[in-house]
């Protein structure tokens, strides 16, 4: 209800701003005053985004090869701003191309415009006139609470630059005293002393080499999306309203921690799916004794109504057959990672209204079993292809990871034979943009038209994922592989693709050679022979030995 009231208030403000823009003086001579207006630098240079929620992406774009993506959350509209020097009593035209739900473009304290829904890029435009003594203007674009990611590109502020004859050409002084104030496995926090300027400092950019990795309007920032156990060197530069940039600060180096981030942490998990809801569930301890497997991925946590977790949406979270199975697995020296979501059913992602509510539901599961890891199996149009729900899941995983030190978080999603699809790429990009600190991105290389060569298709898909992680997070091959997971389908897939024990052995050996983080398959229930039996819930549809795929998986060491 509070979000709705804020939305109504904002719409009223927009209407007033538009009314104030009527009967303006003649438009000034056109010239785009904005720095990095199309984000073609590949960085946020010139722009500052609240909450570290902005990033530069390669798709979707309006023109060129880059655009802004900013992930509005339940508590932050992901506002991105740039302050420029302007002339008093002058009319300017602000325009830009935006995409998403409830996207705004305007000038702080002045006129703005918005669109309630833009499935493809839509141009927004608004004019405003500066005050009698106004020499700077802050341009903004933002989304709305809980509406997910919006995109912006080719933003233009047309009019004469500030300062009259020549304008402000004096750069701020270099920031001093840059220091690292804290690290995690994927972040480094920095602070520095303020710069001075003849007119005024409007912001600071944090550099790693020549790349801007964070921006701030204050004297501190946190750089996110870093690799674990890795040394980074940073500098900071100040900028003013006229776009003048200071010299670099002193350089400072910091090394990320070894826990919680993947590369270098030693997190490895061989964990085939076990489902107590159907498929003649086998005795977990019998399978453990026969194969040496220690971990199981327990499926599935769904909604029993609203934002309330339960097994399969109907069995109690505790006290039922699922808890009895988990207790037996642990008594035999093993452990479990619950899988939240899946292809079908009433899922928590769409039912929990905010990242905070979804995190609370996840926390119920974590607390019920004292978990070391959780897996969110994000599939289908209600979660995987729903950008609002994607961001909600990432936000929730970020929260529970912060609240449960040492907890490992896993995302499992579909793939093409060449690697992540559009929505998979978006999920990875948003994980970085939101600082979700995901430990393992697990692809499901089946039901993707892989054809006869399931080994080749699986390796191609996994390498595609590795390359996407490298380009998004700036990791090397080893670190990227250490964040990769594979979850296959033993025997016949739903699309009649065949993975034999020999094929799965080759996949496992490749996974060990490249030191990926996780190996799983669907499912132990199906790890029994029924040659010519088709796709069944209690057997693989091919000729094999009992628990043969589980035995092979138990040999995964990473």
What are the structural domain ranges in the chain? 2-158, 176-255, 269-554
Q: What are phi and psi of 9, to 5 degrees?
A: -65, -40
- Residues 471, 14: Cα–Cα separation, whole Å: 39
Burial of 180 (0-12, 13-18, 19+ CB in 10 A): middle
pLDDT score recorded for residue 159:
80
- Residues 136, 147: Cα–Cα separation, whole Å: 30
Decide yes or no: CATH 3.20.20.80 for domain 269-554. Answer: yes
pLDDT digits (tens, 9 = 90+) for 244-301: 889 999 999 888 765 433 344 458 999 999 999 888 999 999 999 999 999 999 999 9
Which one is predicted more confidently, 406 or 335?
335
pLDDT digits (tens, 9 = 90+) for 385-444: 999 999 999 999 999 999 988 899 999 999 999 999 999 999 999 999 999 999 999 999
- Residues 514, 218: Cα–Cα separation, whole Å: 42
Closest CA relative to residue 374, chosen from 345, 399, 343: 399
pLDDT digits (tens, 9 = 90+) for 346-385: 999 999 999 999 999 999 999 999 999 999 999 999 999 9
Closest CA relative to residue 46, chosen from 247, 246, 214, 243: 243
List all residues 6 or more positions away from 402 whose beta carbon is below 8 Å from its beta carbon: none
User: Under a CB-based contact definition with an 8 Å cutoff, are residues 504 and 488 in contact?
Assistant: yes
Q: Is 379 designated active site?
A: yes
What percent of the chain is predicted at pLDDT more than 70?
A: 90
- Residues 22, 256: Cα–Cα separation, whole Å: 53
**How far does the chain reach from its first CA to its final CA, in angstroms?**
48
Strand, helix or coil at 513?
helix
How many residues belong to the chain? 558
pTM for the full predicted model: 0.57
Superfamily of domain 176-255: Immunoglobulins (2.60.40.10)
Per DSSP, 525 falls in state G
> Could you say which of 40, 280, 379, 497 is catalytic?
379
Closest CA relative to residue 169, chosen from 146, 141, 131, 199: 199
pLDDT score recorded for residue 31:
52
For residue 470, CA distances in Å to 97, 429, 483 come to 29, 11, 10
- Residues 448, 145: Cα–Cα separation, whole Å: 35
Model confidence at 229: pLDDT above 80: no
**Which of 51-60, 123-132, 188-197, 500-509 has the largest mean confidence?**
500-509
Q: Do domains 2-158 and 176-255 have the same CATH topology?
A: no
pLDDT score recorded for residue 241:
77
Domain 2-158 - what CATH class? mainly beta
């Amino acid at each position: 209800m509070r979000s709705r009231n804020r939305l109504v208030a904002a719409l009223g403000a927009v209407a007033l701003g538009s009314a104030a823009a009527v009967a303006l003086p003649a438009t000034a001579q056109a010239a785009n005053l904005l720095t990095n207006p199309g984000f073609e630098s590949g960085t946020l240079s010139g722009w500052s985004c609240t909450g570290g929620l902005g990033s530069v992406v390669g798709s979707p774009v309006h023109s060129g090869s880059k655009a802004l993506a900013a992930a509005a959350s339940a508590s932050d509209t992901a506002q991105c701003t740039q302050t420029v020097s302007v002339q008093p009593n002058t009319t300017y035209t602000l325009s830009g191309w935006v995409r998403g739900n409830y996207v705004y473009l305007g000038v702080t304290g002045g006129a703005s415009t918005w669109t309630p829904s833009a499935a493809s890029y839509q141009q927004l435009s608004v004019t405003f006139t500066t005050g009698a003594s106004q020499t700077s203007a802050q341009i903004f674009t933002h989304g709305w609470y809980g509406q997910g990611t919006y995109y912006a590109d080719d933003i233009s502020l047309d009019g004469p630059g500030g300062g009259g004859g020549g304008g402000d050409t004096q750069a701020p002084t270099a920031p001093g005293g840059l220091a690292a104030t804290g690290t995690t496995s994927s972040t480094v926090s920095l602070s520095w002393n303020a710069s001075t300027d003849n007119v005024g400092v409007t912001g600071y950019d944090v550099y790693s080499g020549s790349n801007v990795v964070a921006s701030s309007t204050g004297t501190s920032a946190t750089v996110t999306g870093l690799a674990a156990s890795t040394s980074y060197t940073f500098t900071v530069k100040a900028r003013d309203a006229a776009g003048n940039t200071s010299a670099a600060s002193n350089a400072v180096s910091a090394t990320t921690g070894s826990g919680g981030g993947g590369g270098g942490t030693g997190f490895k998990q061989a964990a085939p799916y076990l489902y107590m809801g159907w498929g003649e569930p086998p005795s977990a301890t019998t399978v453990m004794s026969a194969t040496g497997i220690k971990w199981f991925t327990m499926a599935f946590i769904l909604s029993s109504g609203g934002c309330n977790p339960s097994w399969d949406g109907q069995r109690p979270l505790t006290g039922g057959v699922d808890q009895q199975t988990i207790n037996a697995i642990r008594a035999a020296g093993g452990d479990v990672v619950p899988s939240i979501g899946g292809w079908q059913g009433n899922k928590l992602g769409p039912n929990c209204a905010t990242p905070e509510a979804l995190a609370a539901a996840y926390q119920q599961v974590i607390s019920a079993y004292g978990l070391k890891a959780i897996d969110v199996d994000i599939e289908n149009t209600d979660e995987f292809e729903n950008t609002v729900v994607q961001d909600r899941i990432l936000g929730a995983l970020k929260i529970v990871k912060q609240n449960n030190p040492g907890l490992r978080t896993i995302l499992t999603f579909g793939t093409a034979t060449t690697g992540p699809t559009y929505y998979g790429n978006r999920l990875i990009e948003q994980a970085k943009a939101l600082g979700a600190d995901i430990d393992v991105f697990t692809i499901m290389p089946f039901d993707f038209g892989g054809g006869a060569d399931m080994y080749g298709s699986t390796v191609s898909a996994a390498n595609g994922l590795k390359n996407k992680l490298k380009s998004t997070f700036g990791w090397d091959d080893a670190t990227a592989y250490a964040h990769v997971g594979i979850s296959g389908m033993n025997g016949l897939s739903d699309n009649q693709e065949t993975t034999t024990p020999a094929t799965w052995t080759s996949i496992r050996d490749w996974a060990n050679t490249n030191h990926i983080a996780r190996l799983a398959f669907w499912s132990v229930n199906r790890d029994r022979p029924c040659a010519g039996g088709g796709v069944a819930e209690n057997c693989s549809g091919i000729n094999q030995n009992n628990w043969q795929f589980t035995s092979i998986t138990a040999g995964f060491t990473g």
